[in-house]
Amino acid sequence: MNKFWTYIVGFLLIMPFAIKAQQANVNLDYNPQKDTEGLIPFSAPVNSPEVHDDHTVTFRLKAPNAQKVVLPTEAIYTANNLGSEPLPFTKGPDGIWTLTIGPLKPDMYAYHFNVDGVQIPDPSNTYAAFTAMPPYSELIVHGDGPAYYDAKNVPHGNVTRHIYHSDVTNGEREIYVYTPPGYDPKKEYPVLYLLGGSGELPSNWVYDGRVNFIMDNLLAEGKVKPMIIAIPNNQVVHRNHPKHADLTFDIFEKEMRNHVIPLIDNSYKTIRSPKGRAISGLSMGGRHSMFVGFRSLDLFANFGILSAGDVDAETSLAKFLNDPKVNEKVDYLFVGQGTEEAKGFMGKRCQVLHEALANHNVKHEYYVGGYGGHEWNTWRHLLYYRFLPNLWRK
């Protein structure tokens, strides 16, 4: 056998191990939905979504008896200016519905299909979110390399799931805890308590928010202080309970004081003072951070209010705003939201909070950035570009 054929045979032997497949789930790839082997995801009927290098995306659905399939208006639309009308699929003679859109900005997007009026996740997409809402699918549009929220070849921290019994909610609950790479149990660390929104569970800050990879990358870049991140479940009363707004803040504060903070302080070497604690959250979690955090200055001196606020902030936060020593008690207060989000009602709440803080000379950072709306691409952006790098800098 000559050298040419020896090379070809050798290449063919190693090729299956060198090429990454569409949604192969072998590695934590930055481009998991790029089709490189012509294979469909395991147990799926078709290949969907397929992300092309020109940033266009093809969705497919095998539904021969369906009458109408559309891609509803969701995060993909907001970030990419696709308008507000659902985009229709085209049915092929094989019963497979197809839609190609884009090019899209490289990012991670949540989406659903709507089939004859019924909302469903993409049944061929192995990247699905498990939340406090009905499940949705995750579209990952890759760029030229790993993004700031992707797993890179850097030192990685650990994420631990703690299960504990709560006398407050009368049941078993969970907390996810990130410890930085090289965590030293003899060294004291500050703790960020990070909260989800109305439809989130603690795991969503890991799988949708990618907070552990964001921290790993920021640490490798020398842009943040090492910290522990505790992600408790801030669902403490049914979100559709008619008195949710009246009940949730008192219950969550009791949960934090009685269980969450003691568990973290007893399990890890922490700085057990307000200066060593921060509380932050997105949407509902931002309101928990605000209404519970601002009245708990004996616990927290650092705050991150992400995509949250209150249109009646002058009244609802009067005690905090009028505290003559508030700037002595607060080390860092961040208020942030997405550029598209700032144009609507959610943005108004955030803007009013910023204005109330400014009117009372409460030191804070206000930031509007990224290109997203009230969605995960905004919250990942806020963490990486603003909140985490500025935390514990005082």
pLDDT tens profile 177-236: 999 999 999 999 999 999 999 989 999 999 999 999 999 999 999 999 999 999 999 999
- Residue type, position 221, single letter: E
> What was the pLDDT predicted at 393?
86
Per residue in 256-294, pLDDT tens? 999 999 999 999 999 999 999 999 999 999 999 999 999
Please give the average per-residue pLDDT across 55-81, as a whole number.
Answer: 92
Q: Which residues pair with 187 in a beta bridge?
A: none
**By mean pLDDT, which of 9-13, 17-21, 119-123, 192-196 is the weakest?**
9-13
Please calculate the CA angle 216-222-228 and round it to the nearest 5 degrees: 45
Tell me if residue 192 falls in helix, strand or coil.
Answer: strand
CB 278 within 8 A of CB 332: yes
Give the chain's length: 394
Residue whose structure tokens are 């049944």: 123
> What was the pLDDT predicted at 84?
82
Task: Count the Cβ atoms, other than its own, within 10 Å of residue 76.
Answer: 24
CATH number of 3-141, picked from 2.60.40.10, 3.40.50.2300, 3.40.50.720, 3.40.50.2020: 2.60.40.10
- Residue type, position 298, single letter: D
Integer CA distances (angstroms), 95 to 57, 92, 190, in order: 20, 5, 56
Tokens standing for 314? 């002058």
> What was the pLDDT predicted at 22?
80
Please tell me the pTM assigned to this model. 0.93
> Any residues with CB less than 8 A from the CB of 125 and at least 6 apart, and which?
23, 33, 41, 44, 48, 49, 137, 138, 139
Walk across the sheet containing 118-120 and list its strands.
87-88, 69-71, 113-115, 118-120
CATH number of 158-390, picked from 3.40.50.1820, 3.40.50.620, 3.40.50.300, 3.40.50.1390: 3.40.50.1820
CA distance 307 to 242: 23
Residue range(s) in the chain whose domain bears CATH number 2.60.40.10: 3-141
Residue range(s) in the chain whose domain bears CATH number 3.40.50.1820: 158-390
CA distance 237 to 247: 7
CA distance 151 to 167: 37
CA distance 154 to 216: 7
> What was the pLDDT predicted at 12?
35
Per residue in 156-185, pLDDT tens? 999 999 999 999 999 999 999 999 999 999
> What was the pLDDT predicted at 333?
98
